[in-house]
Structure 1
Amino acid sequence: MVNSNDYHSNNSNIQCLIIFYLLELFSPKLLFSVRFFVALMAFFGYAIQYMNKINLGIAIICMVNYTALNKKPILNESIEYYNESSSYTLLNLTLDLTKNISEKNNQCLTQKSHGTNIEGSFIWSKSIQGFTLASYFWGYIITQIPSGYLSSKYGARNVLGYTNLIAGILTVVSPFCANAGYIALSICRFFIGLAHGALWPAMLSLYVHWTPRNERTKIIGAAGAGAWVGNIIALPVGGVLCLYGFGGGWPSIFYIFGAIGIIWSIAFLIFISDSPKTNKFISKHEMKYILEETKKEVSAKEGRKLTTPWKRIFTSKVCWATFIAHLCNNWGNYLYLTQLPSFMKDVLKFDIKSNGFMSALPYIACALSTSILALISEKIINSKKISKTNVRRIFNGIGMIGPLVMLICLSFVTCKNPYSGVIFLIVALGLNGFFWSAGPLVNINDIGGAYSGVIFGIANTFGTIPGIICPYIVGVITKNQTQQEWQIVFVICAIIYFIGAAVFWFFADSNIQSWALVENLSNEDIQQSTFTLNEKENKI
């Protein structure tokens, strides 16, 4: 005789399966839907943020008068601006120095093949340049954690729209600040970073309401790729604008990139809403579909006030391994983001136009490798031939040790063989794709359960520290712009990569932590209340 409870249970399961297949059959297609438009706007938001994050790194090559800077040791250190009236005195006083520099440059392959070099009007030492580049990250680190709270209180749409509008306006006025002095520009960059720091955490809040479970990885992954695209666009376009742009060349980088940010912010505020419920352009069919598919996540986020186990998080070995690994990897990441154009100029002697294109190539390699390796790692984990923890260890290890080896090779490259240096950088960032595709940041979702968002915010805060320290240290070390000085920079980065690889190898764990198992929430609810962070930058 069949038990009535079993009968009703089986009947209920069949009904659930029927509803599931009906939803799959009649669910609105992603392409050209409103949620597709949300993902597209997120993609451009990430791209624009990165364009405006690194624009100063390429612009500063055109802003600084390096000829005058090389003569500056015999001048008063307070001089910031170069003008023609002082040029004869400078040339007479430093004839031997410029002769030596010229003789060295004549041995360079790129100096023979490229001749498009321009000199700016600012006499800013390398330490001043480093300080100015780092000022963005002083602001960026402050809003990493508070922006999640602000998104809950005021809505992700408002936080994203208005913070990026402010950042766009400040980017447009950056040239005027630069003309007022490096302190004024540094303050401006600080507030741009402060505004930009809200982007990634606020986007996570928006995804809660807009990404159905079966499309989440696809949407978040595709949108997050905008960060790589921003780098790939900004570097070559910035180089071209330095040469041919209006307003004196380099100012047009800030005018154009800032204006794009303003346009995006206005469009975002007009067309995007916090939830499908309040969207003016969505169909009833798509709205019902999204609300049904996200109701568990929304109820977990809004209906339950979880107490964050701060002490358990900050005493967790695997959390600290994640924080340290992200910090160490981002030392290299921010070294490339802020200093790669300077290295291309100082050591490899590429002119500004070639500099932008050559600096973009490693990011193309990283974007491609990250996408491919994410699929490979998923297949390896699903095959169960290697444990998830070991996959995370191996991918993090290759993602750091690979670039370590390439940076050691790069430290011996001179302008006599500049293209080998570009190849080493392409391989370094290509191998770094192992880290982004299946390393520590992805592991946050494995260990953190319902607290993954909190852990991600803490990790990103630690990951921003190199952005503050690295540019300034590089500026201090490379004050004479020599290959030997850059060799020290790359060896330091290699050591930091090794520390990140070793710490994560010994303390990694991909099992959900005991403190992340929320009482009265099923495992399914825990998993549904978190986001797959596979494509996060983290970049951020």
Structure 2
Amino acid sequence: MLSTKSTGSSAMTHETIPLNTESTVASKSTKINIHRNDFFAARNCIAYAGIVGYFLCYSSRIILSVAINEMVVKQQKNETFNEDCPVPGSDRDLSPVTKIISQNHGTFDWSVKEQGDVLAAFFYGYVITQFPAAFIARHFGGKVTFGVGVFGTGICTLLTPVMAYAGVTSLCVLRFLMGLVQGVVFVSMNHLMGVWAPVYERSFYSSLIGSGADAGNIVSPIVAGYLCSLDFLDGWPLVFYLHGLISMVWILFWCRIAADSPSVHPRISSEELYYITGESALTHCHVTTYSNKASTSSTISYNRTLPKFPWKRAFTNLPFLALFVAQFCSNWINLGIMLVLSPYLSRVLNYKISSTGIFSCVPWLCSSSSILLVSYTTDCVIRKGLLPVTIVRKINQSIIGAFISSLFLILAANSGCDTVTTLFFFTLAMVCFSATFSGYHCNNLDIAPNFSGMVFAICNTCAVMPGFILPAFVTYFTQSNEHSPELWRKVFYLLAGINCFGGIVFLLLASGERQKWSLDAGDGCNDDESDEIYLEKRRYEIIESG
């Protein structure tokens, strides 16, 4: 607890505030008078810009996979196979079927392998910058790192048509560069949330910003499909031009409203600053100048240096390892449903996604909505002290996000040729999986808020591996007959099994409390300056400015 102190001939009185611990979360929420629901609060504005930034990043991944169907020339060919499921609405029996794929008016004569190389080039760049992103964000700040990542993605998207005409190799290089710059985006936002998000709002802000990614999954294919159908400029280049121009506008707003920390935000209110710094318990370092107007006109500076990441202690810490495993296993479901759902509906159930419009987006829409609902409920439970943070994280991640979602995934795989039932269970699986946004997705802010970006970078480096591995597994299981429900069922069993394994590890080993290796590393104080002393200086600045 901090107590009243005096300096010189003039006394400075301060309220007593407990430092951030899991046991005092609920009591602090009643002591601090702040309008948490202020729509234009500084941290809310950063979250809104983060939503759009995530939307632009996920859109950049998806729009090429949609546009490439109009970019390349498809030669007419006959394909005969034995379908297990009839075309919905038809009365035919399960006899051999011949499909005729006709030639379109594409521009580029690229082979299937070349198309795959173009789409995969992004991920090779993306995985490289995970570790560097954490160091860059800590040394240069989350504002610059996140802004450069989203803006650089927009520039690369804007140049996509030009590089496509230059050749496959040029386009692959551009997509690789896009992966490099986008690799810093999610790490730097986690770094920012470690500074900006109060402890019992972490689930909400993590999920709110993450909803931008789901919005990208929902909106981008629809908009890209429409633009590709236009005759103006051949249609498909419009997809990349629109995305690039939106990114240009976004960066102007980001530079205006974002800041590396509450203490350096030019327009934050003194009440919100007091609220965040008290609740966040100084989760990051600051270099701030304080002016003691009551006793002297001179300026006193207190510098706080960056703490070093304790690699050995982190990798021998069970909650850290639980988070590492959970994020890796969860991404199998996250990427798996994203990559497998459309081919399964098209190849096995003969589901015509292009002719059903918004109906095919129902699973993503429901997932996006449930993310916000679960996060809000989670923060309410934590704020009111109904359950410890550790229990809440385990329920969201393991019980709901792993076990129940995997059950629905298995039910979807065993729904036979019933398209409606299959989509229903897929939707339930994704709704349950959305609880992981209030599980592993914000657990790095719990166990090491001063290293939130670094922890996310370490975990995400391996978590993106399923993006490389999963297509190979799908090919291995379905290569004998890609239209067989039995063979595809093995893919879904694999995804469910990996997800459940991650849920078991998280359930047994995870924690919602800040770990000792994070506490011992400090928050950037000088050796002779404790967190209590720094918080005292911080509070004095607020009193003087208010």
User: Is residue 109 from structure 1 mapped to residue 61 from structure 2 by the alignment?
Assistant: no
* SS of residue in 1 equivalent to 2:306: coil
Q: Deviations over 1:267-306 (max 9, x none)?
A: 4346645567877xx55xx455555555663863551332
TM (normalized to structure 2)?
0.73
Query: What is the CA–CA distance in structure 2 between the aligned matches of 1:377 and 1:142, rounded to whole Å?
Result: 34
Partner in structure 2 of residue 461 of structure 1: 461
Q: For residues 502-531 of structure 1, give each alpha carbon's deviation from its aligned partner in whole angstroms, at most 9, with x where no partner exists.
A: 322333334433323327779x959x99xx
Judge which range, 476-485 or 196-205, deviates more. Answer: 476-485
Residue in 2 that maps onto 1:442: 442
**Is contact 1:413–1:420 with CA below 8 Å preserved after alignment?**
yes
Deviations 1:28-50 (A, max 9, x none): 98334555433322221111112
Write the distance in 2 (CA, Å) between the matches of 1:226 and 1:55. 15
**Matches for 1:388-537 after TM superposition, within 5 Å:** 388-395=389-396, 396-412=398-414, 416-437=417-438, 439-448=439-448, 450-474=450-474, 478=478, 481-484=482-485, 485-518=487-520
Question: What is the aligned partner in structure 2 of residue 78 from structure 1?
Answer: none
Query: Does the residue aligned with 2:127 lie in a helix, a strand or coil?
Result: helix
How far, CA to CA, are the matches of 1:254 and 1:110 in structure 2? 36
Q: Return closer, same or farther for 1:299/1:433 CA change in 2, 3 Å cut-off.
A: closer
Compared CA separation, residues 309 and 106, structure 1 to 2 (3 A) = closer
Deviations 1:305-339 (A, max 9, x none): 32321011112232222111111110111123344
Aligned equivalent of 2:539:
none
Deviation at 1:380, TM superposition (A): 5.1
- Give the C-alpha shift of residue 374 in structure 1: 2.7
Change (3 A) 1:82 1:433: closer
Secondary structure, aligned partner of 1:138: helix
49-58 vs 180-189, which deviates more? 180-189
User: What CA deviation, in whole Å up to 9, does each residue of 1:377-434 have, x standing for no partner?
Assistant: 44555677765444433332331223322332333456x5322222121111011022
The secondary structure found in structure 2 opposite 1:509 is: coil
Aligned twin of 2:15: 16
Mean alpha-carbon deviation: is it higher for 125-134 or for 37-46? Answer: 125-134
2:313 corresponds to which residue?
312
Aligned-residue sequence identity (percent) comes to 28
Higher share in strand: 2
Give the 3 Å change call, closer, same or farther, for CA 198–120 of structure 1 in structure 2: farther
- Per the alignment, residue 330 of structure 2 pairs with 329
Given that residues 405 and 494 in structure 1 are in contact (C-alpha distance below 8 angstroms), is that contact kept between their aligned partners in structure 2? yes
1:368 alignment partner AA: S
Asked if the contact 2:322/2:509 (under 8 Å) is kept, the reply is yes
SS in 2 for 1:225: helix
Cα distance change of structure 1 residues 119 and 406 upon mapping to structure 2, 3 Å threshold = farther
Q: Distance in 2 between matches of 1:476 and 1:173?
A: 35
C-alpha change, 1:525 and 1:450, in structure 2 (3 Å) is farther
Aligned to 1:341: 342
Q: Deviations over 1:332-355 (max 9, x none)?
A: 111233443333333333335346
> Alpha-carbon deviations, 1:82-125, whole Å to 9, x = none?
45xxx5xxx5xxxxx54x45x8599301689xxx9995747877
Distance 1:436 1:317 in 2: 21
Match of residue 297, structure 1, among 277, 282, 286:
282
How many residues were matched structurally?
482
Q: Helix, strand or coil for the counterpart of 1:518? A: helix
Q: Deviations over 1:41-69 (max 9, x none)?
A: 222111111211222344455556xxxxx
Cα distance in structure 2, aligned partners of 1:401 and 1:291: 40
What is the root-mean-square deviation in Å for CA atoms of aligned residues? 4.4
What SS does structure 1 have at the residue aligned with 2:507?
helix
Which amino acid in 1 is paired with 2:400?
I
CA distance in 2: counterparts of 1:141 and 1:377, whole angstroms:
31
Secondary structure of 1:300's counterpart equals coil
What SS is found at the alignment partner of 1:307?
coil
- Which amino acid letter does the alignment assign opposite residue 45 of structure 2? F
2:238 maps to which residue? 252
User: Deviations 1:189-229 (Å, cap 9, x if unpaired)?
Assistant: 22212111111222344456766788776655533332222
The AA in structure 2 aligned to 1:297 is: L
Deviation at 1:465, TM superposition (A): 1.6
* Structure 1 unaligned regions, length at least 5: 65-80, 92-96, 530-540
